[in-house]
Amino acid sequence: MALPNLSNDRPIYEMTIPSTKETIKYRPFLVKEQKALLIAYESKDTKQILNSMLSCIETCVPGTNIRNLATFDVDYMFLKVRSKSVGESTKLLSACTECNEENEITINIEDVKMEASEIKNQVIPINDDVSVEMKYPTYADVMSKSVGIDEEISGAEEVFNSITSCLNAVQTKEENILISQEPKEEVDKFINSLTNTQLEKMSKFVENMPTLMHLHEYTCKKCNHNNTVELKGLQDFF
């Protein structure tokens, strides 16, 4: 006797991608996807975790090329898929700012919002002759440069890598030079030749990049102090 063929792999929910405003259909994780995610998390290898997350979204959100989407779009999509897969709330620990007592707080994932942000490359003048075109990075950019995922790099190196991952082109009066077509050594040489003022202009683009954000208020169980915790970025919600 054959076992029944379950049809749980069909999309049943809808969400809107923040940057493109496109409405797409998705389904929750199945056991096979959740198993792959758990194995990746147990490895504690951040690149393996990211690859597993991307593969899971690709399977649960058919017809969408997430490899070309900005990181904040993918974070939002994963949060939505996860909420329908393992529950629409998550429990976190937060230390009271008054007495440092750890409190367990419950976050309703459905309350986490991201304002629609149209992706527009930004051109930043460096001097009278040179400008740089900045873009929001994809996770392919992140993993290729280990931006924010290599625990061994310093804070300064992480900032440097983040700026590099957002750099799309260098423009002069004669040409438009795509960074993706230049050797890493040449890109590093260009970044290192910037003044602090020029670098700060590019840093502001990175700092203002859209991200998942949620403010949660709670009263400390020990001292009754009212706390507000800011959750920012996908990693803060798990």
Backbone φ, ψ for residue 197 (5° rounding) = -65, -45
Which one-letter amino acid corresponds to residue 102?
E
b/e code 81-108 from CB counts within 10 Å (16+ = b): bbbbbeeeebeeebebeeeeeebebebe
- Does the pLDDT of residue 195 top 90, yes or no? yes
Q: Could you tell me the pTM of the whole model?
A: 0.80
Contacts of 88 (CB under 8 A, 6+ apart): 108, 109, 110
Task: Using the structure block, give the residue that is written with the tokens 């496109």.
Answer: 22
Query: pLDDT category, 235, cuts 50, 70, 90?
Result: confident
Assess whether pLDDT exceeds 50 at residue 147: no
Instruction: State both tokens at 3.
Output: 């076992």
Say if residue 171's pLDDT is above 70. yes
Greater confidence (200 vs 10) lies with: 200
Residue corresponding to tokens 């304002």: 115
What is the pLDDT of the chain when averaged over all its residues? Answer: 86
Span 87-140, pLDDT tens digits: 888 899 999 999 999 999 999 988 887 765 555 668 999 999 999 999 988 888
- β-pairing verdict for 167-171 and 131-134: antiparallel
pLDDT, tens only, 48-98:
888 999 999 999 998 888 888 989 999 999 999 988 888 888 899 999 999
Cα 78 to Cα 57: distance, rounded to the nearest angstrom: 6
Q: Mean pLDDT throughout 169-189?
A: 92
More confident residue, 118 or 42: 42
Confidence (pLDDT) at 225: 97
Element (H, E) at 24: strand 23-26
pLDDT band at 150 (very low <50, low <70, confident <90, very high): very low
